[in-house]
Amino acid sequence: MLLVVILALLLIGNWFFTETLIFTPVNLAIHFTSLGWWVLALLLIAFVAWCISDD
């Protein structure tokens, strides 16, 4: 019985640390990278609009 409890705790701990230390930062990095490309595109559009309106 103690072996089953230890194995269950190890599996839960493994899942928790994998989720918090690997998947969460990777998902945040993907989200911010995607957001960064959108911001870059909007800045580029704003710059082109500013150049066109300056003429």
Categorize the per-residue pLDDT at 55 as very low, low, confident or very high, splitting at 50, 70 and 90.
low
CA distances (Å), origin 38, targets 26, 27, 31: 19, 17, 11
Q: Is the torsion defined by CA of 44, 49, 54, 55 positive or negative? A: positive
Residue-wise pLDDT tens digits, 35-52: 888 888 899 999 999 999
Nearest to 23 by CA among 34, 32, 33, 15: 15
Instruction: Answer yes or no: pTM beyond 0.85.
Output: no
Q: Is the torsion defined by CA of 33, 34, 35, 39 positive or negative? A: positive
pLDDT score recorded for residue 41: 87
pLDDT score recorded for residue 46: 93
